[in-house]
Structure 1
Amino acid sequence: MVNYWPDKQGIYLNHEVAYLFAHIRQKFHRNLSNNTQDYLYIDILNNSVKHKLFSIVLVELEILVLDLVELNISLQGIQILKDKIFYDLIQKVVARFLIEFTINSSSIILIESKRYAYLKVILLEYKWLLENLLIYLIFGSMHIDNYIFAFDQKNTPIKHVEILLENVMIQISNLAIFMILENLKSLSNIIIFLKTNKLCNRSYISIRSLASFRNNLFYQNLLYLYVVQPKYIYSNRYKVWLMGPEGLVTRYIYAYRLEDFIQLSYLQLIIITLIELQDFIIPKCEKFLLVLVKLIFYIFINILGNGIMVLVRIIILGIDSLPR
């Protein structure tokens, strides 16, 4: 039986929100290692530190929801203040994480520059990352545009909201670690920071492994920004991160992404054009090659068959012409 998310504000919605946060918190006892082929900045942390970071993000999300409810903010208010809400959330997560591990945070400055491919990806996907989740948690499903997801407003599965919350928690955690690492800049500073504060995953305790890790992230983010993300937007897909039984996993949900499409850069639009050409040309080429292969086989079989028949006749004639 599918249980649906409340469609309006009230006691029922408050109860479901409280239960959802408690349910997500129970999953922290699972293995939190990355079980995908993709890299995350939080991969650099050991499991216990990752657990604390997720807890911090979840608490800050709870506080954010309570604050917005107490302020009696409207839906339009959330849409207007979305950048500030997002920025403040990241700032609080970073600050609490550093306090949790008694780390001096005076040198940590939040990065706002859009020169980072990873930040461009996050900023473009903000609507799917946080805005829709806040609407579900504060106002109920009736305030979500009916065409955005693959189901009706009144029939929004609770599992769907759970997926969005898990995804936000993991991605906000990832963004917080990205901010901290980029502030440290050099590999030596990062190594010292991780080892001194006992944060590091054993896989990244050397400068070589850390350099490889950062390079992989750089190229992954670049590829995602200019190739993968435009493809997802064009296909109305959104990748979410979840806590699976064996670790962190990715899944895909349907999301109507016309607004994201409009915001794509010129280069990203070129990629989409190439994808469209690929969708048009490749099936035609496949059909042409299939016909060509069949034709070649037909000719080959006929030539071979006729050749064998001629050879047999020659042999028979040769045998008949032998003196008896």
Structure 2
Amino acid sequence: MVEYWPNKQGLHLNNEVAHLFSNIQKKFSYNLSNITNNNLYIDILSNRSKNQLFHIILQELEVLILDIIELNLNIKNIKTLNHKILYDLIYKSSISFIKKLNTSEIFSLNINKQKLLLLKRLFLEDRLLIENLLIYIIFGSSKIKSEYFAFNSKNTPKEHVSILLENLIIQISNCVIFIIIENLKSLPKITNFLISNQLCNYIYISNRSIALFRNQLIWQDFLYLYIYQPKLIYSSRYKVWLISSNGLITKYIHTLRSEDILKLSKIKRIFIFYMEIQDLIIPKLEKTLLICSKILLYIFINFLGNSLIFFIRTIISGFYPT
């Protein structure tokens, strides 16, 4: 039986939020290895370090929610401040994680969302990443536009809200490690930071392995930002990261993304236009080619058949001359 998320504020919503946070904390004890074909910056961390980082982000999210309630922000305020809210969550989570390490490394975190590919991607998806989740948690499902997802907003499955929360924690965690690595800059510093704080997965303990890892992620972020993300937006899909009993996995949810199309650059819009043309022309082209191939096959078979008959008659006439 499908259980639904509360659609308005009240004690029922508060209890469900408490259960939601409690349930996801239990998942932090699972195997947190990435079992997909896509790399994450947190792959560089050990399971224990991921667990620690996930807890920090969940705590920062709790503080953020309480601040929004205390400031009495409405939905319009959240939509207006969504970029800043996401930025603050990333920044405060990064600072809290560094403080927890008691590291001697001096950090002056620079988060440039215009230059860093991963951040550009996240801030383009801010509504799906955090805005909807905050509205579900603070105001209930009735305040979400019904056309956003493939179900009536008043009948939002609890599992859907859980998916959004898991995705947020994994994506923010990934962003935190990305920012720390980018601010350390040099490979020796990155390696020393990871090893001295006992953070790293044993696979990444050399400068060479970390360099290869970074290069793969930079290329992956580039492809996602300029090819896969526009394709997902055009297809009205959103990729989410989840915690399963076997490790971190990805799934896709269907959601209206017409607002995201307006945020795209000219190059990405050209790519979407190309896909639209492709969707229009290729089916017709395939149909035309299929008809042509059938005609050519028919002509070839007839020609081959007639040639064979002529050849047989020639042989027979050679044996039995008139």
TM-score range, shorter chain: over 0.9
> How does the TM-score come out when normalised to structure 2?
0.96
**Equivalent position SS for 2:149:** coil
- Equivalent in the alignment of 1:236: 236
- Equivalent in the alignment of 1:109: 109
- Equivalent in the alignment of 2:17: 17
5+ long unaligned stretches in structure 2? none
Give identity over the alignment, percent: 52
Q: Which moved more, 1:24-33 or 1:283-292?
A: 283-292
5+ long unaligned stretches in structure 1? none
Alignment check: 8 A CA contact 1:49 1:199 kept: yes
Structure 2 counterparts to residues 53-68 of structure 1, below 5 A? 53-68=53-68
**Equivalent position SS for 2:148:** coil
Distance in 2 between residues matched to 1:255 and 1:117, nearest whole Å: 23
- Equivalent in the alignment of 2:172: 172
Alignment check: 8 A CA contact 2:187 2:207 kept: yes
Alignment check: 8 A CA contact 1:42 1:173 kept: yes
Q: Give a deviation string over 1:78-134, Cα, whole Å, max 9, x none.
A: 223323322221122112211222124642313124112211111111111111100
Alignment check: 8 A CA contact 1:108 1:180 kept: no
Distance in 2 between residues matched to 1:82 and 1:306, nearest whole Å: 74
Distance in 2 between residues matched to 1:185 and 1:52, nearest whole Å: 23
- Equivalent in the alignment of 1:4: 4
Structure 2 counterparts to residues 1-324 of structure 1, below 5 A? 1-104=1-104, 106-321=106-321
Q: Which moved more, 1:95-104 or 1:50-59?
A: 95-104
RMSD: 1.5
Stretches (4+) displaced over 4 A: none
Alignment check: 8 A CA contact 2:36 2:250 kept: yes
Size of the aligned set, in residue pairs, is 322
Q: Give a deviation string over 1:158-216, Cα, whole Å, max 9, x none.
A: 11100100000000101111110110011121111111111111222222221111111
Q: Which amino acid aligns with 1:215?
A: N
Cα shift at 1:229? 0.9
Q: Which moved more, 1:302-311 or 1:152-161?
A: 302-311
CA spacing shift, 1:22–1:123, aligned 2, 3 Å: same
Alignment check: 8 A CA contact 1:91 1:110 kept: no
**Equivalent position SS for 1:203:** coil
Cα shift at 1:39? 1.3
> How does the TM-score come out when normalised to structure 1?
0.95
Distance in 2 between residues matched to 1:289 and 1:187, nearest whole Å: 54
Cα shift at 1:72? 2.7
Distance in 2 between residues matched to 1:167 and 1:55, nearest whole Å: 14
